[in-house]
Structures are given as C-alpha cells and as structure tokens.
Structure 1
Amino acid sequence: MASNEVREAEAAGPTLPQLKGKKATALVTAMTLLVLVPQLSSTMFAPAIPSIAESLDITTALASQVLSLFLLTGAIAGVVLTRWSDYLGQRRTIFILLAAFGVGSLLCIWSPNLTLLLIGRALQGAASAAFPLSFIVLKKLLAPKTFGLAVGTLTAINGGVAGVDAYFSGLLVESFGFRSIFVVIFLVAIAATIAVRVCVPEDNHATATGKMDWWGASTLSLGLLLLIAYLGQAPTAGWVSAVSLGCLFAAVAAFVAFWNIEKRRSFPLIETAHLRSRHVWPVIATTIFSLAGFVGAGGYTIVLLSQDANIGYGMDAAQSALMYIVPGALAGVLVSPLVGSVAHKFGWLRLLRSGLALTILLLVSVTLLRHNPTAIFFLMLLLGAVFTGIVLTNLNGLGVLLSPDDAPSALPGLNSASFGIGAGLGIGVVASFVNGTESGYVTAMWLSAGFAVLGLVASLCITPKAGQKL
C-alpha cells in the first residue's frame, strides 16, 4: 500500500479553490446543462421509435436499437471515460465527450439509413459519462454543503425532466419528424459546451500518475456488454437458454480476466484491494439491487397493471404515464435538492438507509393495495419522492465521496454503469412473471420488494474511509 500512498501524494498537485456565490451557481448551471445532454438523449426517444421505424421503413424492433445502443455504449463510456479523466483532467474529458456527441448528432440528423443512425447513437453514448464527471467536478470545486445541494439538483434530472421531456418529444415528432429531436439536443450540447468553457475552471492537472489501464478497461467493458445483453434477452429467450447462458458465462469470463489483469498492473483501472473494500463493493451492490426493486415495480409492473383491462385499471398508455409516472418524477425533482442540501448535516449513509427502508415499506404497500387505483397513485407519488429524492441523491453523493483517493473517478464510473445493470435486472426478472395473471403481478411486486431489501442489506455493509464522517 506504500506505493499507493506515493502515487496519491505525487498526483495530489495543487488544490483548486472552492467556488462560492455567483461562481458556484454558474458551475452548477453548467453541470446541469451538461447532464441534460445524455438525459434527453435517453428519455426523448422512446416516444419517437414508431416514427423512426416508419421513416426508415424498418420494424419497431430494429428502431428500438436507437435507444438500446445508446444505453449500452453509455454504460461503457461511464466507466472508461470517467476513469480516463483522472489522467486527462475532468474538464478536458468533458470536451472530448461533447465532441464525440456532436459528431454523433450530426450523423443522426443527416443519416439516410439505420446503419449511420446507429453509428451516430453509439458516438452519442459517450455523453453518458457526463453524470459521474459532473459529480466529480462539483466535489472538487464546492464546499460540502453546497456539493450536497448540487448533487440533489443533478439527481433530479436523472429520471427525466418530470415527464415533460417525453411530452415535448411527442410534439416535435408530430410537427417536424424524429430528426428534430437530434437538432434540439445538439443545441443543448452546444450550450453545455459554452457553459463548461466559461464556468468550469481549468483543470488539466492529473489526479493519477502512470497511464490509463486500457486492458482492464477493455475486459471490464466487454463483461458489462455481455451482462447487459444477458439481462436484455433472457426474459424472452429464457434465462437458461443456450444463447443466454453463453452470454452469462462469457461475461463471467471477462470479469475474471479483468480481475486477474488488475492484480498485475502497475497502474490498474481500480485496485482489487479497493474492489474488495467496504467503501466500494457495497455501494455498487446497493445501486444494483435498489434500482432493480424500484424499476421492476414502478417502471414496469405497475405500468402494465394499470393498462390491463382484465385485472388492472384498463388505462391507455398516456393515462398510465400521467397517473403513475409523471407525479412521482415531479416529486423526485422537488425533493432531491432539498435532501442534498441537508445530507452533509444529517449524514449521507443515514439518509440512504432511511430512504431504502421507506422504499421497502412503500413497495409492500403497493403490493397489498394493488387493486385500489387511487391508493396506488399516492403510493407511486411517495415512491418517486423517496427513491429519487432520497435514495438516488445519496447514492450519487456516496459514489464520489467513497471513491479511492488514488482513483477518484473509478467508483463514480462503476456506479454509473450499475444504474443500467440494476434497471435491466429488475425489468428482466419481473418480466418473466408478469403474464397477465393475478399471481404473476403479485410475484413480480414481491420480487421487486425483495430486491429493495437486498439493497438495504448491502447499504448496511458500507463503511466510510478513514477520517470520514458520512
């Protein structure tokens, strides 16, 4: 460990002054614009898939790759680009991802076929690293209390802009076609680039010595791709089908290779000792299991139940979203900044565990009161406020605060990828049981609550680093 201490001391460099007042506000505004780029690139395209299919004369299944490919490449970018920023500096890395996003956007705007459109979406996926990078920048430049408020503000955007973005997307598609969405987001990216250039101080000093571990990054990225592919296809192909098991075994092999590479590298992507520590793996496990519980119930099961004319409430898709998605998203937007502003005072870990306990209680209540549409409305409203406002805000903050000192971007990147894995796990598992029967819905809801329980158990294993008060 002595070598680690030497590397940390060498990389420490000059400390950037903390920003206050108007400069702090300008920084948070710039980071908000930055994270809007990947967020809008995700949430605005689900309503546009039928239009993409019609315009390019392809099936909706092929058109849906426009969204899934963005999420896949985003998971990799969140790990690789975030860790690379320890060597390049966060500001410089942000400009790289914005440049990649800009090129991808132009390809998407002018693409005559699906192939070029998907290449453009793959390049746009680089912007997904904006979330962890923004949290790292805020941690460096803001006082602890202000950092918490900023994390809450950015977390409020994490699930979309209270459903308004999806509604606006529908209007754009109807009036100007699906390519207009790319134009709007490209303009947001230009605004974010200007804001970062003006409001984020120069930060070209590396926080890590040596060189980027590309072998480790490659094997970890391959493992993540295969794992996400397994979670995506297993519900339809079968969890133990030959193809699914092939993806799973290949993912495990890639993760084993990653572990062995990290043990031998002088400058690893992340030390295996850190991965084994209770500062790192419990945060990742908490993110995966808690997201699986929340998305499995709130983002999938309840939505399908509300649209089921036989067992559920017989709503159409618009009514379902308006009743059970938008109110919770809006509540999360309002609560997240408030929670972030008091996290430093009340304790990040205490708030996280309290939020998870409330999430479990709400998921159990949703299961028991599933036949009462009005009760479900209020429960989903509270679930959005609690999970987005409390759980996600504190998970994002802890991802930065508990990252190893010699790899400050490692845990935020891994935690960012864990969001997608958790969502995929939750939907993949419950989709196997939601079959239009009463018992199927009930099983899916109890499984979602069980995932949340596992998230709470994992959170109890998190310990602060030496000298930290969390």
Structure 2
Amino acid sequence: MTTIHDQSPTGAPTRYAALLAALVLAVAGYQINATMLAPALPDVMHRLHAGSGPAGLSQTLFFLFAAIGQVTIARLSDHVGRRRMLQVTLALLIVGEAVCVLAPNIEVFVLGRILQGTSSAAFTLAYLILHEALSPQRFGRALGVITAVNGGIAGVDAIVGGSVADSVGFRGIFLISLALTVVAVFAVHFAVPAMRVPAAGRMDWPGAILLGLGLTGVLLALNEGGSWGWSSPATLALLVGGVLALVLFGLAQKRAANAIIDLSALASRRVWPLLLTTVFTLAGVFGMLNFTIPLLTETPGAGYGLSATESALLFLTPASALGVIAAPVAGQFAPRIGWLRSVIAGSVGTAAAFVPLVLFPRSPWVTGIALGVLGITYTGYSLTALNGLAVASAPADKPGSLPGINGACFGVGASLGIAVASSVVTSLTAGGPPTAGAFHAALWSSAGFVALALLTTLLIKPSNVNR
C-alpha cells in the first residue's frame, strides 16, 4: 500500500500537499452543487416554472442518490480501487452538471441532480484514501480539511451562487461547477496514488439494487406525501414498495457471500447509534439550511425578503466560513481526545444552536448568529468526528463498508430532512405562497431531528479505538 509518512526524507510534504489539494478539488466539485444551489432555489422555481414541491424533490433526490452512491461506490472501491472509483464519480458529476445547464424543464433538471448526487461518494473515497496513505495524526488534520469542504468553500460558494442566481440564473452555477470538476479530474489523475485493492470477491449488486429501490421509495413517499396526500395510492405504493425492498435487502444480505452491508456489525452499539446520529444530524441541519433558510430569507412578507446574494452572504456564509476554521482544529485534536468525545461535543453544540433558531425565527439577527454557531458545532465538530469515528471503527477486511454506510447515512439524512421540511411547508401553504407559520413548523421539524441525534449520540458504545 502506498503510504506518505510524516518523516519521509524527500518529497513527502510535496506529495502530501498535492494529494490533499487533488482530493479537495474532487469533493468541492460535488459540494458546490449542494451549497451554491441553495440560495438559487427560488430562481430554479421561477425559470423552470416549478413549485416548492418539485424544487424540494430535486434536492431530496440529489441527497438520496448521494446516499446510494456512497454505500455502493465506497464498497465497490474495495474491489476495484479507490482512485478508479473516484474518477468514475467525477465523470458522473460532469454529465449531471451538463444536464442541468441544458435542462428545459424541472423533470430534466431532476435527472441532472440525480447524477450529481451519486458523486457524493467522492467524500468517502477521499477519507479512505487519506486513511490508507497517511499517519494517524496527519490523517486527522487532512480529514478536517476535507470535512470543512463538506460545509462549503468558506462561504464563498454560497455568495457566488447567490450572485450568479441574481445575475444570470442558476445555469451559471452549474457551468462554474463543471469547470471545477474538469480541473479535479486532471488533479486526481496526477496526484492520487493507485493503491492496492483491499478486498477480494465480487460486488453485491443485488443488494445494492434493493437498497437503492428501498431508500428511493420511502424517501419519495415522505417528500411527496404532503402534496399527493398521505393516504393516496401513489404515496402508499411508494412507501409499501420501499419498505418491502428494504426487507428483501435485509434477507438478501444474510445469504450474500460478500454482502454490501454486514448486518451483524450493524447490531453493535458501536455502529447503529453512530449511523442514526449521522442520519438525524444531517436531517436536522440540511432540512433547515438547504431548504427552509433560503426560502425564509428570500420570501417577501412571510420571510425577510432578501435577494439570493444577500441571503447567502448574511446567513449561509458565516456557517461555512467558521466551519473551514473549526473542522481542521477538530481533526487535529480528535485523535488525542477521542473521536467519540468529539461526536458528543458536536451533537451538544448543534442542539444548543437550534434553540434560539426555532424560538425566534422572525429575528434575522438571532438566525444569523445561530447559523454561525452551527458552523463551529456542526461543520467543525459533528461532521469531522462522525467521519473519523466511522473510518476508525471500520473492520480491517472491509475498510470501505462502515465509512460507505455512514456516508450513505449522510445522504439519507439530508434527503430525509429536506423531504420532511418541504412536505411541511407544502402541506401548510395549501397551494399558495409559503407562510411564516409554515417556515416555523419546518424549523421545528428540523429541530426534532437534532434532538434525536443528541439522544442517539449518547447511546454509542465507546471502544479503545474511538474513545
């Protein structure tokens, strides 16, 4: 296995910097498709003549397929190699960006978002590459840098996204991300080493398909239930079909020779509370930050009535910028104080930041300060520690399994949170423009997820590895 040691006599600092820069570019190509588009959601709705429901669906499917891509591509990289699969994710991202640039309607736009979402696996692949190439201390610092990108590019992406949306429209955002992704392709080719393939055997494709169908059915039912009706045949068919697929997935995993998910490992209190914490944390923050806040801050009357640029600058940028500072710090100290303790610190801080957010949603000052605190507690500590704990706790014979599942939980949580927030707003507006009450209810639904995350964090069983 290729390893970049801290004390290598020559070339190690240069190789380390090149590797980290290439991986930052790779994950940034995906990430700005999430953060830059957030302030542009109203523009997407206007130019493609879509309501909040279809716009929310595009975000839900983006993060849903991020979940499917994470668990599938990360596990597949155990068989065919990390760098090769990272190159595949970047190719999917380029195609998805091109589709969104040319999208004539919301249906084609949603297809492009699905392809982009799949490339979320770049994050898990980056974590695995760093873990296999670096020493523990250097891994912690690098993990913090990559995680900081997960919260945005120091807030610049949100500002640029808002500005582009105000000036030329949302299509300009995808042109920018397309150019960045092309640069990332070359950087990965030249800077990321080809490492050994850690696992033998064949990929569990039946399991991957059943998992994808199950997650799609359940989350689409949650997203569309508010507009279709919770007892409508379409909603019930999606929900029942999704649950049935997940049940079949569980049965298939027990018999699979090389299961995509080791169900026996999921029964451990070192694993299932960690995965639930990831789901609930992402559901709470993404439902609020990537759906409710952009609509709240940009809607006249019921919200603050700001432009997309003003919304990004005042409310999305502080959290991202503070996260860039806090995440590397968390990555530096987490190996010393323990990944689990860092997870707990992040969960407590994130829950505390939500309290003023849901109590005083009509106050722009309170909202702005609460979001800034979340940049430290959520982007800085929670994201860094959750990823680090998953990598550190993964079994040696399946190193991509737990990080891949945890990465999938990021996508599941994000899509679940947006689906619920979108459904709450849609169901309380009765086809009209969003109301202040609908926004407040959506914030409370996100806060409920964060509270659940705090409870499941306390259930994670410590071990000598992650204590």
Tell me, yes or no, whether TM beats 0.5. Answer: yes
Partner residue of 1:348? 339
Residues 54, 339 of structure 1: CA spacing in aligned structure 2 closer, same or farther, 3 A cutoff?
Answer: closer
Residues 149, 235 of structure 1: CA spacing in aligned structure 2 closer, same or farther, 3 A cutoff?
Answer: farther
| 1:301-320 matched pairs, under 5 angstroms | 301=292, 315=306, 318-320=309-311
Structure 1 CA distance, aligned partners of 2:192 and 2:177? 21
Instruction: Give 1:17 deviation, angstroms.
Output: 5.0
Tell me, yes or no, if the aligned pair for 1:306 and 1:315 is still in contact at 8 Å. Answer: yes
Q: Letter of the 1:364 partner, please give it.
A: V
Partner residue of 2:431? none
Structure 1 CA distance, aligned partners of 2:273 and 2:103? 43
Partner residue of 2:383? 392
Tell me, yes or no, if the aligned pair for 1:234 and 1:428 is still in contact at 8 Å. Answer: no
Matched, 1:210 2:207: no
Partner residue of 1:187? 179
Structure 1 CA distance, aligned partners of 2:119 and 2:75? 14
Instruction: Give 1:458 deviation, angstroms.
Output: 1.3
| 1:369-380 matched pairs, under 5 angstroms | 369-370=360-361, 372-380=363-371
Matched, 1:269 2:267: no
| Among candidates 315, 322, 328, match of residue 319 of structure 2 | 328
Partner residue of 1:448? 446
Tell me, yes or no, if the aligned pair for 2:319 and 2:371 is still in contact at 8 Å. Answer: yes
Tell me, yes or no, if the aligned pair for 2:162 and 2:308 is still in contact at 8 Å. Answer: no
Partner residue of 2:330? 339
CA offsets 1:366-408 (integer angstroms, 9 cap, x no match): 3344454433332221122211111111112122222232221
| TM-score normalised per structure 1 | 0.84
Matched, 1:145 2:145: no
SS of 2:27 mapped into structure 1: helix
Matched, 1:44 2:36: yes
Which deviates more, 357-366 or 172-181? Answer: 172-181
Residues 239, 156 of structure 1: CA spacing in aligned structure 2 closer, same or farther, 3 A cutoff?
Answer: farther
Tell me, yes or no, if the aligned pair for 1:402 and 1:464 is still in contact at 8 Å. Answer: no
CA offsets 1:26-52 (integer angstroms, 9 cap, x no match): 211111001011112333345666777
Structure 1 CA distance, aligned partners of 2:223 and 2:422? 11
Partner residue of 1:8? none
Instruction: Give 1:255 deviation, angstroms.
Output: 0.9
- Work out the number of aligned pairs and report it: 453
Partner residue of 1:421? 412
Partner residue of 2:67? 75
| Among candidates 50, 57, 74, match of residue 60 of structure 1 | 50
Tell me, yes or no, if the aligned pair for 1:364 and 1:446 is still in contact at 8 Å. Answer: no
Structure 1 CA distance, aligned partners of 2:115 and 2:264? 33
CA offsets 1:412-458 (integer angstroms, 9 cap, x no match): 22222222322333344455555477876665545433322221221
Tell me, yes or no, if the aligned pair for 2:50 and 2:106 is still in contact at 8 Å. Answer: no
Residues 191, 453 of structure 1: CA spacing in aligned structure 2 closer, same or farther, 3 A cutoff?
Answer: same
| 1:51-130 matched pairs, under 5 angstroms | 58-61=48-51, 69-105=61-97, 121-130=113-122
Residues 433, 49 of structure 1: CA spacing in aligned structure 2 closer, same or farther, 3 A cutoff?
Answer: closer
Partner residue of 2:212? 221
Instruction: Give 1:274 deviation, angstroms.
Output: 1.2
| TM-score normalised per structure 2 | 0.84
Residues 238, 318 of structure 1: CA spacing in aligned structure 2 closer, same or farther, 3 A cutoff?
Answer: farther
**Identity percentage over the alignment?**
39
Q: Letter of the 1:59 partner, please give it.
A: H
SS of 2:203 mapped into structure 1: coil
Structure 1 CA distance, aligned partners of 2:424 and 2:106? 33
Structure 2 CA distance, aligned partners of 1:424 and 1:66? 10
Residues 280, 305 of structure 1: CA spacing in aligned structure 2 closer, same or farther, 3 A cutoff?
Answer: same
Partner residue of 1:33? 25
